[in-house]
Structures are given as structure tokens and as C-alpha cells.
């Protein structure tokens, strides 16, 4: 029996695939621990999985400023040392990292103990940290059609994004009933990711009356701490009351997506994978300041596959309302999008990653060549 640590967290896009992998590993008899950040979004989502083992780790994102670099360095050292102690305590045999600041310290600590490291990159642009960690990893899991310069194809696997076991599309009628939306309404769902998106929240507020006039209800996920929750009711066609909801967070995203006629969303890899699984037509608004412009690349790939429409953040005020109206009332076009999304669903990615990790561990005996600690050298 092998003990696997999964470094994830910091955003829902990193934490949820970690949970999905842990579920598959536990099913196969491989005990798992999940390293998560100290953010509220991680604490809230982890409470939904009492049968999984979570460990809060220090850390801070890399920000190129004197204070940002100092915080990142301090977080790295603390997470490195804490990871070392934890590996010795539980006899950890492998580390799987899902990117973000929560992966770097644990991955480097695993290396000094001779543990195999598995790295997952969800986005269609690979950051410097992932490229650095990939150089000496046992496996690097990448999106469809991607490779890494300098990394052997024997090491890389094109797998996709793991979704939790319970994340599946449900019938529209049931989904609408669970979130209190009439089956007769046209429902627009607006997502800014687990962190929320202020520009999308503001767009909804600015256009509530215009949407209601068209008979479009909205369900806006604002993000924890970004905006207050609430309900707004406005008069729509023929005096009908159109209800719009603002909700800070939900851990039942599959229900919300299954209820939607159309989704407006940021273009994170997690959001796109969930949109594909629920077969929901979408307009993607890439976050313009995402590292390496990865959200634009994610969205452009889906659009190129006929699974979505791309709208740039700078065009929200001038184009988005008309795009929403054109798509949400075009049944034939939305049916085409749904068919294309169905063909793009990769299936149970977590199970395939688990099988590959197990095979790799069985073929490569583990030798922890650093037991009492060691010297960590950073090579530029």
C-alpha cells in the first residue's frame, strides 16, 4: 500500500481536481492526503468531504514586488519544512501537484526525499514553476494535444482535467427545482470562478433591466467576499416578474450549470471542464491578466472545437449583451454547441490518472535517499 500526498488548493480550479484524484486513489486502496491553502474557499469546500484527509499548508502566490517576493519566499520555506515533517510522519511515497503556489514547496520537499513527483497542468499555457518541476518528475499530465519542450514524450500524458465523482449533468427539470428557478424561464448563469470576477458582477448589475426586459433571469456567482448575496425582481414581458439571484459561492456547481440555458464565464480550465461535462452553451470571457494569457488560450481552443463563443474582457460593455440575446434565443445553435461539447467530454480523468500513477509506482521502487533532512539547492 502506497501513501500519496496531493498538493492542491489556493483556488477551486486547483482544489477540485485534487479531490477528484483523491477519490479515485482511495477507491483503489491508496491512502491520500490533500495539502490545501489557508484560504476560505479551500476550508469551505474541504468540509464537504469528511472522509478525505486535508492538511492546511502555508504559502503565498508569487507576486513580482519586494513585499510579494518576501511573502512567497517565506511561504515556500515554511511549506517546504512542514511538508518534510509530514512526509516523515506518514511515510509518504509520492507527491502529486496540481500547480499554483501550494505545489512548489511540497514538490521540492518530496524531491529531497527521493519521492516520485507527478505534476498536472490544467491550462494550455505552462508556467515557469511547472516547467521547472516537470524536469525531474515521473509524469507530467497535460491538456489535449500539448507537449513540453525538453520533456520526453514518455513522461507526458494528455489526460484532461479530473472532475469529482459526483460532478455530473442532471436533468434540467430537477436542476431548476433544486435552485428554485421556473422551468419556463430563460436562465443565464454568470461565473467568475471561485474567486469571483468584479467586472462580470458589475456587468450583470448594469444590465439587469435590459435582461429582464428580454425575459432573461440571471444567476450570478459573485465570489466569496466580492459582493453581497441577494435577489432582485424586475418586471419583464407582459408584466411577468423576472427574478435574478446573486450568490457568493456554491459547492453544487453541476446543479447550477445543468439548470442554465447559457453560461457567461471566465475561461479557467476547471470552469471549461465543468461546462463540457454539463453540456451547457457558453460565452467565455478570458481574464485579461491571467499568467501567460492562459485563459485566452483555453477559451480559444474550446471555441475552435465548436464548443463555445469567445468574448474579450474589453468588449464586455459593447458586445456581451447582444451576444447573450443572440445565443440564448437560438435553440438550433445551442443544440449544436451541446453536441460538440458531448464529443469533447474526456470521461473519468481521475481514474485514468490513478491507474497511471499506480503503474508508475509499481514499476519504480521508491528509495527515500534523504531521511533526516537535506540541503536544498535552487538552480536557475
CATH code, 285: 3.40.50.2000
pLDDT (tens digit per residue) in 7-39: 998 887 889 999 999 999 999 999 999 999 988
Distances (CA, A) of 211 to 35, 144, 242, 321, 339: 42, 36, 9, 8, 27
Residues 43 and 132 both lie in one domain: yes
Greatest alpha-carbon pair distance for the chain in Å reads: 75
For residues 36 and 368, the model is more confident at 36
Residues 319 and 176 both lie in one domain: yes
Residues 354 and 338 both lie in one domain: no
Residue 74 has pLDDT above 50, yes or no: yes
What is the arithmetic mean of pLDDT over 116-145? 92
| 370 part of a folded domain | no
Residues 144 and 220 both lie in one domain: no
Residues 199 and 266 both lie in one domain: yes
Residue range of the domain that includes 9 = 4-161+346-363
In three-state secondary structure terms, 216 is strand
Cβ atoms of residues 187 and 204 within 8 Å: no
What's the pTM value of the predicted model, to 2 decimals?
0.91
Residues 340 and 350 both lie in one domain: no
Residues 144 and 221 both lie in one domain: no
CA angle (58 as vertex; 55, 61 as ends), nearest 5:
125
Q: Which residues, listed in sequence order, are joined to residue 263 by a DSSP beta bridge?
A: 189, 282
Residues 109 and 139 both lie in one domain: yes
Task: Report d(CA 313, CA 216) in Å as an integer.
Answer: 22
Contacts of 153 (CB under 8 A, 6+ apart): 147
Task: Report d(CA 268, CA 270) in Å as an integer.
Answer: 5
Residues 13 and 157 both lie in one domain: yes
In three-state secondary structure terms, 362 is helix
Number of domains in the chain: 2
SS3 percent helix, strand, coil of the chain, rounded to 5, is: 45, 15, 40
| 107 part of a folded domain | yes
Task: Report d(CA 224, CA 246) in Å as an integer.
Answer: 11
Residues 230 and 258 both lie in one domain: yes
Ordered alpha helix ranges (H), 166-293: 172-179, 198-206, 208-213, 253-259, 269-278
| pLDDT confidence bin for 291, thresholds 50/70/90 | confident
Task: Report d(CA 266, CA 279) in Å as an integer.
Answer: 16
Amino acid at each position: 500500500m502506497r501513501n500519496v500526498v496531493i498538493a492542491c488548493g489556493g483556488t477551486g480550479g486547483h482544489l477540485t481536481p485534487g479531490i477528484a484524484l483523491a477519490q479515485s486513489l482511495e477507491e483503489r486502496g491508496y491512502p491520500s492526503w490533500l495539502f490545501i491553502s489557508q484560504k476560505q474557499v479551500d476550508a469551505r469546500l474541504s468540509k464537504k468531504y469528511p472522509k478525505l484527509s486535508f492538511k492546511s499548508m502555508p504559502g503565498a502566490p508569487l507576486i513580482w514586488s519586494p513585499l510579494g517576493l518576501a511573502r512567497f519566499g517565506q511561504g515556500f520555506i515554511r511549506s517546504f519544512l512542514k511538508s518534510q515533517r509530514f512526509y516523515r510522519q506518514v511515510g509518504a511515497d509520492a507527491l502529486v501537484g496540481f500547480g499554483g503556489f501550494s505545489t512548489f514547496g511540497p514538490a521540492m520537499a518530496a524531491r529531497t526525499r527521493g519521492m516520485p513527483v507527478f505534476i498536472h497542468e490544467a491550462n494550455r499555457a505552462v508556467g515557469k514553476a511547472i516547467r521547472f518541476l516537470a524536469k525531474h518528475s515521473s509524469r507530467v499530465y497535460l491538456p489535449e494535444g500539448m507537449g513540453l519542450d525538453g520533456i520526453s514524450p514518455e513522461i507526458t500524458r494528455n489526460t484532461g482535467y479530473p472532475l469529482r465523482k459526483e460532478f455530473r449533468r442532471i436533468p434540467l427539470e430537477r436542476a431548476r427545482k433544486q435552485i428554485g428557478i421556473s422551468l419556463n424561464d430563460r436562465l443565464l448563469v454568470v461565473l467568475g470562478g471561485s474567486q469571483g470576477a468584479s467586472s462580470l458582477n458589475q456587468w450583470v448589475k448594469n444590465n439587469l433591466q435590459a435582461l429582464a426586459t428580454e425575459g432573461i433571469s440571471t444567476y450570478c456567482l459573485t465570489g466569496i467576499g466580492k459582493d453581497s448575496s441577494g435577489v432582485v425582481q424586475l418586471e419583464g414581458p407582459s408584466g411577468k416578474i423576472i427574478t435574478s439571484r446573486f450568490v457568493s459561492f456554491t459547492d453544487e456547481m453541476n446543479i447550477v450549470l445543468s439548470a442554465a440555458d447559457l453560461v457567461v464565464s471566465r475561461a479557467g480550465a476547471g470552469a471549461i471542464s465543468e461546462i463540457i461535462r454539463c453540456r451547457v452553451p457558453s460565452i467565455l470571457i478570458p481574464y485579461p491578466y491571467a499568467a501567460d494569457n492562459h485563459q485566452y488560450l483555453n477559451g480559444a481552443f474550446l471555441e475552435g472545437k465548436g464548443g463555445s463563443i469567445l468574448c474579450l474582457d474589453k468588449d464586455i460593455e459593447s458586445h456581451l449583451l447582444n451576444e447573450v440575446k443572440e445565443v440564448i434565443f437560438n435553440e438550433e445553435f445551442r443544440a449544436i454547441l451541446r453536441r460538440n461539447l458531448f464529443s469533447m467530454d474526456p470521461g473519468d480523468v481521475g481514474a485514468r490518472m490513478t491507474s497511471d500513477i499506480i503503474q508508475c509506482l509499481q514499476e519504480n521502487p521508491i528509495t527515500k535517499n534523504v531521511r533526516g533532512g537535506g540541503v536544498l539547492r535552487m538552480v536557475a
